[in-house]
Amino acid sequence: MENLKLYNTLTRKKEWFSPLDPPIVTTYSCGPTVYNYAHIGNLRTYVFMDELRRTLKYAGYTTRSVMNITDVGHLMSDGDDGEDKMASAAKKQNKKPEEIAEFYSSVFFKDLERLHILLPEIIAKATDNITEMIDFVKVLCDKGYGYETDDGIYFDISKFSEYGKLSRCNIEDALAGARVAVNTQKRHPADFALWKKAEKNHIMQWQSPWGMGYPGWHIECSAMSKKFLGDRFDIHTGGVDHIPIHHENEIAQSEALEEHKVVNLWMHGEFMLVDGGKMSKSLGNVYTIDDLIAKGYSPLAFRYFCLNTHYRNKLNFTFDGLDGAATAYNRLRGMISACKSAQKADADTAQKVHAQKAAIVAAVYDDLNFPLALGELWTMAKYACREVYDIAADLDRIFGLDLHLPIEQASTDIPAKIKALAEKRFAARKAKDWATSDALRSELDALGYTVLDGKDGYELRIKN
């Protein structure tokens, strides 16, 4: 196993990585709330999760990674206000929350596949783990951290003396920052809900010691990480927006329950901006991968675009920037894949190529410095020898960019029979005959082909 340095949000330092039980590395990543399409900003965070997991694997570790699917409990604000996001989407679309969750989860998984994001070993749905959440809340109440009000069970942050250590804000700041309490029964405005009591017609509710209700969002991650990874694990990831509330609350819950540190290393991906600002529906700048495909960009060009900025830096999305990334990506892929039929290098050049490989690997082992690694990869590609192809094919385990495969492979190598099946599926899809379309997708899948649907067409890919 190789030595890695990773940045820990908790200590604000890069640290030598030392797992609890090598070669296994346990990781937990906050997953999507499946009430809507994931946008490219959300997906940047999962590309970051993937960079980490691929790097760990390349370094010789075995990952045991969990990603949750939030299908209940995430309210409109990250605090305890507003309607449940799932319930709200269900109402608007006149569907059951399960249908909403299933639809957007399947689109999300399709997006992950298109972006070559490897699936974590364990995918945990919140609604499958309600019993564990109730048990968790019960223990917190027994230990004096949880208290009951008319509308739920709350965590008393004043009982957890280290509250605020991740975002480095103390309890006084948290109290001052919390909005004037709507719920006057809370002991402190910044106390957060562990469990909410459901109004009679609330769309999702479960039996609990406190009557019918549903879990708070933060308890999901504490309960599921405990269930699948135990009372201590190596790395927890998420986007930077989670630092001040969601992850602070997870630490409070988990450490209050276990009475010791639970997560060794906290890692956070910075935000993606669009045209220098926040993505928002009202500005019309919330893009999905389907939107990019419809505009003619390949998902892997977007992946390259993400890798080219360090995960701890903000990434400003513009179509000019994506154009640049797509051009660079295609050129690099063209250069590397052409090396398959190139001559072997002389001893001197071969040595230089191997030195470049070492530089690439050293960059990713230094807190996932993929922008530097890509720079070194460009330098390596310019040697244009067979070794470049072999090394790039091996390194693709980290990059996930198919750099060694010729771009034309996607369309030219596809037999007529497969193309005909894909056409039939497209026609069924256009006619909204989802059953036939899904059956044909499965058939194609079994034959080794993936169909990527865009707004007005589709793309057929050979599965790797």
Kindly list the residues in this chain that would bind ligand AMP in the complex (CB under 6 A): 30, 32-33, 41-42, 44-45, 238-239, 241-242, 271-272, 279
CB 224 within 8 A of CB 66: yes
Give me the least distance between CB of 278 and ligand AMP, in Å please.
7
Strand partners, 196: 152, 214
Strand partners, 70: 33
* Of 30-38, 88-96, 334-342, 354-362: span binding Zn ion (CB under 5 A): 30-38
221 near Zn ion, judged by CB under 5 A:
yes
Q: How far, in Å, CA of 364 to CA of 4, rounded? A: 8
Largest CA distance in the chain: 77
Q: Which is nearer to ligand AMP, 147 or 305 (CB)?
A: 305
Give me the least distance between CB of 371 and ligand AMP, in Å please.
17
30 near Zn ion, judged by CB under 5 A:
yes
Q: Are strands 263-269 and 233-239 parallel, antiparallel or unpaired?
A: parallel
Give me the least distance between CB of 50 and ligand AMP, in Å please.
13
Q: How far is CA 260 from the centre of its chain?
A: 27
Q: Which is nearer to ligand AMP, 235 or 279 (CB)?
A: 279
Q: How far, in Å, CA of 243 to CA of 240, rounded? A: 6
Give me the least distance between CB of 314 and ligand AMP, in Å please.
9
Q: How far, in Å, CA of 123 to CA of 67, rounded? A: 5
Residue nearest ligand AMP, CB atom distance: 239
Q: Which is nearer to Zn ion, 45 or 309 (CB)?
A: 45
Helices (H), 382-431: 386-399, 409-412, 416-430
| Extended beta strands in 138-243, E state | 146-149, 152-155, 192-197, 213-215, 233-239
Q: Which is nearer to ligand AMP, 308 or 337 (CB)?
A: 308
| Interacting partner of 206 out of Zn ion, ligand AMP, none (Cβ under 5 to 8 A depending on kind) | none
Q: How far, in Å, CA of 272 to CA of 12, rounded? A: 21
Give me the least distance between CB of 31 and Zn ion, in Å please.
8
* Of 28-36, 85-93, 121-129, 448-456: span binding Zn ion (CB under 5 A): 28-36
Number of H helices, E strands in the chain: 16, 15
Give me the least distance between CB of 85 and Zn ion, in Å please.
14
Give me the least distance between CB of 74 and ligand AMP, in Å please.
6
| Interacting partner of 291 out of Zn ion, ligand AMP, none (Cβ under 5 to 8 A depending on kind) | none
| Extended beta strands in 202-355, E state | 213-215, 233-239, 263-269, 272-274, 315-317
State the residue for tokens 């701890």: 312
Q: How far, in Å, CA of 451 to CA of 328, rounded? A: 25
Q: Which is nearer to ligand AMP, 114 or 242 (CB)?
A: 242
| Interacting partner of 33 out of Zn ion, ligand AMP, none (Cβ under 5 to 8 A depending on kind) | ligand AMP
Q: Which is nearer to ligand AMP, 30 or 391 (CB)?
A: 30
Q: Which is nearer to Zn ion, 29 or 298 (CB)?
A: 29
Give me the least distance between CB of 239 and ligand AMP, in Å please.
2
Mask for 224-243, x = binds Zn ion (CB under 5 A): --------------------
Q: How far, in Å, CA of 139 to CA of 194, rounded? A: 12
Q: Are strands 13-16 and 24-29 parallel, antiparallel or unpaired?
A: unpaired
Binding stretches for Zn ion (CB under 5 A): 30, 221
